[in-house]
Structure formats: C-alpha cells, structure tokens
Chains A and B, each alone.
Chain A
C-alpha cells in the first residue's frame, strides 16, 4: 500500500509551496512539517525566547502562505526564502521588545555555533560549510561584527555601542568581514 505521507515527503519544495495556496490541509501539514525546525531555529537563535520564537515562526508560515504566489525560485530556495522571512520578523520582534539587541553571552554562544564545524560535517564541502570556514577565518572582532549585523540585525551604530568602538570602526568591521567571507566563498567555488 502506497502511503500518502511518504509521497508528500518526496514532493519538491516548490510544489509544496504552490500547493499551500490551494488551502489543501494535507499539503499545508506537509509544508509546515518540512520547514518548522528550520524556521523555529532561526527565530529562536535571534530571539532566545521559545515563546516569542514560536509566535514568530507561526507568523513566518502565515506570511509565506499569503505571499506564496510571488515566490521566485530564481532568487533562491524555498528554505532560504522562509529563513529570510523568519529572520526579518524576528529582528522586528527584537526591536519592539528591548533596546539592546543582543546579550553578550548569547553572542558568544552563537559565534561558536557558526564557526565550529560539527564532527560529522568535518569533511563536507557544501555551501554551508564553506561559509562556516570563511567566518572562522575572520579576525574575532570582524566575525563578531558580522554575526551581530547578519544574524541579530544590529545596525553599525548598535554594533559600535555594543563593542564600545567608534562608528567608523564598526562599519569597517562589518564591511571587511562581509567582503572577506564573500571573497573566500568565491575562491572556494572556483577550486
């Protein structure tokens, strides 16, 4: 007997997203099931609060449902689209909630996550691992600035205040870190 759950597990991301717009409950369940760990993970990393992260994750799916018809696969995968939505909503929630966008301890923990390669990934050469290695090669102050801006959504002014450095220094760290990672990624892609 052929099982529907197994079948829906094989349906491509784009098809599931298209199906979401039909209001089909089975496709909606399959869509949420496929991405909920990713979406909740992004929200939780930015917010650090499971309750708030759950609200943001739910809003992410609602927004994806409303905007599914303008998803453009040329811009990237469904997964990265959802992560971007979750990220933006989480940053908005952070800004609405507290003046200081990041707890220093949370930053250190997150920096560890995005720079330390899990053992099972040590030999992998996928795009995520290339980004991880590139960030790990940055000087610490640039990696911190990049994570503050790229994940916590902090402006250069907020990075400057958090690190107690002039605004120009914070801007330079964000920019240099970003350009270096991009250059390292392009070099890795050419190899």
Chain B
C-alpha cells in the first residue's frame, strides 16, 4: 500500500467520518478502507464525533397520534388473524444495502427466517415457541438475578386461556412461573424471573387441561 493513498485518505478523514464526502470521493475512500486497517480504525474513531453531536440534539415530543400511526405502519396493530402473516414479513426482512453514517452498514442479507433460538452478548436469549412444527410465538429470557421472561403467542384462535408457562431445566425438571390469558388464541406476558443460563433449557406452554400447547428450546451455556 502506498503512503500517498493513506495521506490522501487522511485529508478526507473527517468528511468521510461525518458522512459528507461527495459520492465519488467517498467510493474511493471506502475502497481504501477496505484494504487499510489502520485508516479504517482511524476513521472509526472519528465517527464518534458525529455520533456525539447527534446525541446532543434535544428530544422533542412528536405530534399526538404519532405512536399509533407508526405502530399501524409497522403492521403491528392488534389484529390476531393477520399476525401469522406479519411474522412472515418480519422474517423476510429483505436484502439491503444502505449506509447509516458511522454505522456504514453495507451488508447484503438474504431473506431468512428468524433463528429458532439465539443468544446475544447481553445475556438475552430468544427462541421460537413451536406447536406441531409451526412457529406460534417467541420467548425471551434475560439471565441473572434481575432476569425476566417475556413471550408472545398466537395459536390462530385455537387456544383458550389461561395458559400456564413452565420453565424447563436441562435435567428435565420444570418450574411454573405464571399464567396469562389468551384472546382468540393470542396473548403476551412477561414476568421477573431469576434464571440461570447454564441450567435453563426451554419453556412449555400448557393448556388448562394439562396438554402442551407449545414448546421452546433456549440456547444453553
């Protein structure tokens, strides 16, 4: 890599980090960053300035009704019959290639369903609630003494409440954590629950007659 390339990049570093470099220069600069980890790290450090400026902007209360309009636009209005379809739409969060300033997301992501189970760095685990091979909801479990469990389930009108939630441990033992009502097969519920990520393996939703409505397998460890 020639010194001139890095030298030229450093002349444009701030404009690149702030996202105001004209398209042609930006393309050349990004191509350089692809090859040069030092310049990449340098520009990454400068993006903190732009992010910091945005963080100083005061919040402002949006107009009345904004929240409802946005939720409607997201297709998340409470209409149980359509929710299964929306799950599909969310899963198909389609191919994207967009730039978010310092975020610089440039990844093309193929349409894919949400993973059956996943774990994040923050100790949050998520898993699909499955009934007869179909995804009918999702459960989230935050580990630790301040932990909690949240789930939403849509049994397509087949379920009647209240349903009971059991946490399932790796040794097969179960612990009831509470119950919640379903309306036309749909319901959501959360509760504080101290959970140990090394032993909590999943969850079961039980009907009032004791039959299993849905199960989830959480990632362990």
Q: Is B94 located at the chain interface by the 8 A CB criterion?
A: yes
Q: Using known A-B contacts A12-B142, A15-B124, A67-B96, determine if residue A37 contacts B60 with beta carbons closer than 8 Å.
A: yes
How many chain A residues touch B (Cβ–Cβ < 8 Å)?
83
A80 CB contact (under 8 Å) in B15, B51, B86, B107: B51
Task: Tell me, in angstroms, the Cα distance from A44 to B54 when the chains sit together.
Answer: 12
- Which residues of chain B come closer than 8 Å to A8, judged between CB atoms? 190
Residue-wise, chain B 81-123 has the 8 Å CB interface mask toward A (1 for contact) of: 0010011011101101011111101010100101000001110
- Which residues of chain A come closer than 8 Å to B103, judged between CB atoms? 75-76, 81, 84
Task: Tell me, in angstroms, the Cα distance from A158 to B120 when the chains sit together.
Answer: 42
Q: Is A36 located at the chain interface by the 8 A CB criterion?
A: yes
- Which residues of chain B come closer than 8 Å to A18, judged between CB atoms? 120, 124, 126, 140
State whether A23 touches B87 (Cβ < 8 A): yes
Instruction: Identify the closest chain A residue to B107 (Cβ).
Output: A70
B95 CB, nearest partner CB in chain A, Å: 11
Instruction: Identify the closest chain A residue to B146 (Cβ).
Output: A10
Instruction: Identify the closest chain A residue to B50 (Cβ).
Output: A150
Task: Tell me, in angstroms, the Cα distance from A26 to B189 when the chains sit together.
Answer: 10
Q: Is B18 located at the chain interface by the 8 A CB criterion?
A: yes
State whether B100 touches A88 (Cβ < 8 A): yes
Q: Is B8 located at the chain interface by the 8 A CB criterion?
A: no
Q: Is B20 located at the chain interface by the 8 A CB criterion?
A: yes
Q: What are the 10 tightest A-B residue pairs by CB atom distance, in nearest-first order?
A: A131-B52, A37-B59, A23-B86, A178-B14, A28-B76, A41-B59, A40-B62, A175-B14, A41-B60, A24-B152
